[in-house]
Amino acid sequence: MKSCLIYIDHKEIQNSIDLLEVARQIFQDEPYETTGVEFGNHNVTLVGRFDHLIQVHHPEIKLYDQVAVTDVMVQIQEANAYDCILIPATYYGRILAPRMSMHLGVGLVADVTAIGHYNNDLEMIRPAFSGRIMAGIVSRSQSPIMMSVRQGVFHYEGQNDKATNIMKYVPTHVKDGGISCLSVKKKEQIYDIRESDVLVSGGGGVVKSFHQLEKLATKLGGQVSASRKIVDQGLATRSIQVGQSGKTVSPKLYIALGIYGSIQHVEGLKNVPNMISVNINRDAPICSLSDIVVEGDAMAFIDGLMKKIEENEGTLS
C-alpha cells in the first residue's frame, strides 16, 4: 500500500487538510494511507480525515524554528519511507520544503497547482517563467515524490469519519536553529479575500477610480480585490491581490473590472462558477473565461448596476 506524509501548518489548518485531495489525485484508485504530522497543540479537526496522525512533542521545539522542525520531519520520513511528501505552500511551508528536500536528497516541485497523469507517470503542474506559462513536470525518479502545493487550489471534500490512529512522537534529539522570537506583531487585515463569496476586482483599466469599487462590493455583500497592476501602483496592498504572486480565490461571483487577464492573474482564479468581465477590449484574455462580458467603461457599469440595485431595493416590502 502506498503512503503519503503531509505536514500540518498550525496556522493554516484547512490548507493542510486540503492536501488530502492532492493525495487522492496522485494515487487515484491505488490503495494508499495518509499520515499528518502536527507540531504544538492538537487540532481536533484533523481526526477522522487522516489515517494516521503523528503528534510531535518536545519541550525544545519552537514552532518558528525551521531547523528543528525540518530535523524532525526528516527523522519521520527516514523512519517510515513514505512514497509521497506534501507540504502546503504557506509562508512557513515555503521555507520547510526546500530544507527537507536538501536533507533527504530528493527533488522538490514547488507551488503545484494541478495534478495530472502522463503515460502512467505522475505530472505535477506549476507556473514557470514568472507565470508566463504552465509547466507540466513528470517525475520518473524513485520515491519519495515531494512537492509544495499552492493554497486555495485544491479542496478536500472526502470522508471525515476515519478511525484515525493517533501516535505521539518524542524525538530523541532535535537540532537547535538558534532562532529566538523577540516580539510578535499582529498584522492588521480587515478581511481575507479567500473567504469572500463575492469579489469586485480592479485592474489597470480602473487605476484612476479603483477607490470607487468599494461601494459596489459593499452593496453586493462582498469584498474588493485587485490585480498586480493596482498593487504595483500602490493603490492596494498585496493582501488583496489575486494571482500567482497574490492569492488564489474561489468566490461564487467574480466581477473583473478593467482587468486584462494575464496568465499570472488567471492562475489565481480556481473553481469560480460565475464571472463577469467589464472591459473596453472585448478580446482581453479574461473575457474568454467569463460567463458575461460587458464591453464598455467599468465606472459606467458600476454606476448603472448600483442604480439598478437601489431601484430593486426600493421595491422590496
- Alpha-carbon separation of residue 80 from 4, 71, 96, 97 (angstroms): 10, 15, 19, 18
**If we measure between CA atoms, which residue out of 170, 161, 168, 165 comes closest to residue 52?**
165
SS3 category, 36: strand
- Residues placed in the known binding site: 227-228, 241-245, 258-265, 279
Which residues are part of a known binding site for FAD?
227-228, 241-245, 258-265, 279
C-alpha cell belonging to residue 210? 479603483
Helix residue ranges per DSSP H, 178-297:
213-219, 228-232, 263-266, 285-288
Host H or E run for residue 84: strand 84-88
Angle between helices 91-104 and 66-80 (to 10 degrees): 50
